[in-house]
Each structure stands twice: as C-alpha cells, then as structure tokens.
A and B are shown apart, each in its own frame.
Chain A
C-alpha cells in the first residue's frame, strides 16, 4: 500500500464512519417535520408535532424533573468527584486507598442494570431498617446518578492533577501558605476547568440515563428518558422525533459554543506567546 492509497483508505473509512454516526440523527430531524402521523411516510412539511409536544403537560413535567435531577446531581458529583480526585492524586498513601480507587473506577464500566438493581435493593433495605427513603423518586434517582457521575468527575480531575506539576503547590507552601490555603489559592483555581468539564458531563449523563432511573424511581416520578422510552417501545412516534430534534440542536449548539470558546482562547494564547518573544 503506498501513501496515496493509504490516506485514501483512511479518508474513506472516516467519511463512512462519520456518515454512519450522523445520517440516523439527520433522518430523525427530517421526519420531525413530517405532517404524517406515520413517521417514515412523508406527508408534507409541518411543525405540528412540535405543537403537540409543547402542549403535553406530561412532557413538561418530565423535562422539569430531569433538569432538576441533572442540576443537583452535577453539583454534588462535581464536589464529591473533585474531593476523590484530590485524595487519590495528592494525598499519597492512606488506609483503604486501593479499595477507594477501585470503587471510583468501577462505576465507569459497571453495567447499568447491575448498578440500578443493587441501588434499588439498597433503598428498599434502608427503608425497612431506618424508614428512609420514604418515597422513591427525585431523591433516590439523584443519589444514584451522583454515585456514577462522581466517578467520571474523579477521573477528569485525576488526569488534570496528574498533568499539573506539583511545583506550584510547593511554591505556595514555600511562600508561607498553609496546606488548606494552597488548596484554595492554587489547586482549586487550576483544576477549575476540569471541574467545569466534570459538571457538564455529569449533567449530560444524568439527563441521558434511563436504566438506573427506571430501577430506583417510584410511582409518579417519570424522567424524560423514562417518558421517551415508554412511548417509543410501542413504535415510532412523530412527537418524539420533534423532541429529539430539539435535544440534538441544544447539544450541538452547546458543543459548538464550547469548541469556539476553546479555539479562541488557544489563538489568544499563541498571540500572547509571540508578543512575549519579541521583547
């Protein structure tokens, strides 16, 4: 294989792969504007399913609940995950470190059905013994989400801390900052971008979760994925296409915005670097 052939092969596979990733989503969007109730049969352009979607009180309730869970989850998971990352990278050896680091990474690869089942059984056992949680719903779903989201945050923070030279923290100590002060003055500001990334990831993971939420939820508490699932199980529904279109657009705009900001910062940095070289 010569170089030209090789790069043509790579190019083809990449295009095919990206098409594979994007065509289904594109079709989802196209059919959301279909007038016909039968999703794959084109009946002319219309936005009527968006209207149907917005009028549904059920949908609004599910969206509100999901957003509430996602927000609370993201905040708690960021705090807990950051603490865990700090402990694992900066505190050296402590009792139970191996167990701790195992428990942090395990949720990343644990099949959701197992996590969901085990947490539900825990909540039931707890209720039996201490009477809490009285009702399954918002609280139990949020706790379940925090448990796996914090693992993702911890991994992000760990890699950020590992890439950060310990010199900076030592320098602060050398200049008279006590360890807690070093944490607030130096470490936290420097891992803040990682914490932000962790927050966003936790938020998305929570919004996306179906299995664990269905296990630990109780009567009356229906998250958005649970609602979507209960509808699409029975077949294609144009209003779900409309909902999907909205979600894809929101995510796409968010990701593009983040990418744009990052690119601009990068350019700014390069410019400043050139400037300093000229003095």
Chain B
C-alpha cells in the first residue's frame, strides 16, 4: 500500500489524484491551419505548469482556450470537474495575465485592480480592503492613484499580476509573463512569482518561449511543437531524459550520435556509434532489440576534456583536436573535431585562472573526451 502523502509534491505520480485541469483530445483549427492538434493534458492543483515552445507552436492558442477566448474545434476542457466548452470567459474561474499586461489606460492602478471585484458585485468596503491587500503584496501601495502610462515596465507587470490575482482565481494563466522585462528584472521577478504562487496555492499555467524561465519556475513543463506535445515532465526529467532530438535540442544543447545497439542488458545498453567511432555504455535498460538504430544524446557539460589519456576503459571516450574555443568567463565552450564530419561540443568550468594568459587547453591541442555511463541517454522517439 503506497503512502498517499508521498505524492503531495508530485500529484501527477499519484494515479488516484484528480487532475484540476483536464484537456481531453482538444484540437483547434484556424481555417486550414491546425494550431493545436489533438492534445491531452492533466494539470493538478497547486502546480506551476509551463507550456514551452517556439512561436507558432500552439502554446498561446491552448492558453487562450483555457481562458475561453478561443473555443476548441473538437475535444473538451474541464476545470475543477466542470466542462468549460460552453462557459464564456467572463464566467470562468480563471484569470489571465496578458503578455502586453493589457492594463486599462483610462483607469488608475487602484481601479484596474478593483475592476474584477466590481464585476462580481462585492461591497465597496470589501473591494477596498482586498485591493489594498493585493497592492501591498506587490509593493505598489504608493502608486495606487497613478495611471498605467505613469508606471515603469516592472510596475506595470506587478499591477497586471495583482489585477489577475485579486479575484482569487482557481487558475492563473500567464502569457509570457516576463518577456517584456529586462534580464536582471526578469530573474528577480521569477522568484517573486514563485513565492506568490507558493503563498496563495493558486494553480499557474505559464506560456513561455524561454527555456531557462520554464526550468526555473515550473513543477512540470510541456514542450510543444506544431500543435502537439513533444514531452511532458519535470524540469529534471526533460533535461536529463529527453525523449526526442527536438526536446534535447530545445532545452539546452546536446551532442547527438546515431548508432546501433550491440548489447542490451537489464541494467545497461551498449551502442556502437560510427561517427564518432566509439562504443557508448549507458547505465539504463531499454525495451529495444539488439541491432536497432538509435540516437544518443550527450550534454556538453557532462563531458570531461583533458590532454592526458584517460585510464584504459574502452567505452565512452574519443580523441580529437580542439577546433574552436569560446571563453565565457566562468565556463569555456570547446568544439572538438573528432573526424572530418564530427564536432563535439564540450563545456567546462574554468576552475583556475589561465597562467600568463595561456589557456590550459589551446587551439589545435590534441585532447581526450570522456564521460560517465550515467551521462548519455538513448532517445526513445
């Protein structure tokens, strides 16, 4: 008997948990163009869920269907057990933070935040109280009488957040919430968002094209492309165990080798790669028969680069010549030429300062690359 409490942080692992948002074979066509193509998705209460993908991948359309601005061409969307297909946006228990913030330019900050409460018919005193609390939370109390055009970008973003949260929605939808902010402010705001989400326990669904943002914020990420989900999982799962070349490349960088399985044990597989010519030993089992062609992904930071030949282990090592170096300060990126057609990218932390301006590993140096059995992953799709 599994202890149900072990899943409180990871409700998607619990087969008994009821999803809070249920997207059921939903498609959306605009004319002949299919924006969202028959997707299924469960999002659980209290999650901070990210829809990640490039422009035109369908993530915004999906978000707009959750908000009710678009109706699915087919399929159903349930929020808290209620089918939303015929519920107009103004009656849904969700609120949205727009990419442009969409603050009403003719209303003060205070009135912007109060707008949703007024529509619900709360009393004046209660509205005032809740607006004040919310403005205090986002630290905008002294700006309450200002109009949106008198605010800076970061302040506008916080008004938009306050306005969307003040109605205590069951779900908050955020469309590229940080895209309009500069880099420094974006990092700071990421943590603020997470704090607020934890504090209020509201389910967040975030649309973003920024993989770093998705990695930092989310409990789970859905990577989207051409209207479909490529993979859904926690940030670690997506990064460490990408299922496809597209996901491996979209989240971070990866070296990709094609090879044939020559050995398949219960706890390991060995892949023979042609380019580069080497054997790759991987410490996870697979349900694929020997002899099959597969792709193997290897993250640049998981490769050790060294001028000395490693110990005699036969697998998981290749020899090459440094083709390019990018010195980024805390790390360096090396491109190592293995043969005429193969370049392997390696990132390595700069643990010590280069002596007399000479790099420890220089252009045209002959180097050995090696990695652990747990470093590479076979792409299953």
Contacts and interface: CB of A to CB of B under 8 A. Distances in A.
Note whether A and B contact each other (Cβ less than 8 A): yes
**Max chain A Cβ within 10 angstroms of own Cβ: one of B67, B90, B155:** B90
A167 B100 contact: yes
Interface in B103-138: 103-106, 115-116, 119-120
User: What bracket does the count of chain A residues touching chain B fall in?
Assistant: 20 to 34
Given A171-B104, A172-B115, A175-B119, A279 B155 contact: yes
B104 A172 contact: yes
Nearest to B105: A190
A190 B152 CA distance: 21
User: What bracket does the count of chain B residues touching chain A fall in?
Assistant: 20 to 34
A190 B106 contact: yes
Interface in A164-187: 165, 167-168, 170-179, 181, 185-186
Contacts of A279: 152, 155
B295 to A, nearest CB: 42
A175 B120 CA distance: 9
B96 A174 contact: yes
A218 interface: no
A181 B116 CA distance: 12
A186 B104 contact: yes
Contact of A181 (B67, B88, B119): B119
A174 B106 contact: no
Given A190-B105, A279-B155, A177 B149 contact: no
A171 B115 CA distance: 10
B148 to A, nearest CB: 10
A269 interface: yes
Contacts of A181: 119
B98 A167 contact: yes
B95 interface: yes
A273 interface: yes
B195 interface: no
A174 B69 CA distance: 9
Interface in B215-266: none
A188 B67 CA distance: 24
A175 B115 contact: yes
Interface string B74-115: 000000000000001111001110101011111000000001
A99 interface: no
B181 interface: no
Contacts of A186: 104
A254 interface: no
**Max chain B Cβ within 10 angstroms of own Cβ: one of A173, A177, A185:** A173
A176 B102 contact: no
Contacts of A167: 98, 100, 102
Contacts of B90: 173-179
**Max chain B Cβ within 10 angstroms of own Cβ: one of A165, A171, A175:** A175
Given A171-B96, A275-B150, A276-B152, A189 B88 contact: no
A176 B167 contact: yes
Contacts of B103: 171
A276 B150 contact: yes
B163 interface: yes
B104 A176 contact: no
A185 B114 CA distance: 13
A273 B147 CA distance: 11
B151 interface: yes
Contacts of A176: 90-91, 116, 119-120, 167
Contacts of A276: 146, 149-152, 155
A189 B106 CA distance: 8
Interface string A22-56: 00000000000000000000000000000000000
Contacts of B91: 176
18 contacts: A168-B102, A168-B104, A170-B102, A171-B104, A173-B69, A174-B89, A175-B95, A175-B119, A175-B164, A176-B119, A176-B167, A177-B90, A178-B88, A178-B90, A189-B106, A273-B150, A276-B149, A279-B155
A-B CB proximity, top 3 nearest: A175-B116, A176-B119, A167-B102
Interface of B: 67-69, 88-91, 94-96, 98, 100, 102-106, 115-116, 119-120, 146-147, 149-152, 155, 163-164, 167
Given A174-B96, A177-B90, 19 more contacts: A165-B102, A167-B98, A167-B102, A170-B98, A171-B102, A171-B104, A172-B115, A173-B88, A174-B68, A174-B90, A175-B95, A175-B116, A175-B119, A176-B91, A177-B119, A186-B104, A272-B147, A272-B150, A279-B152
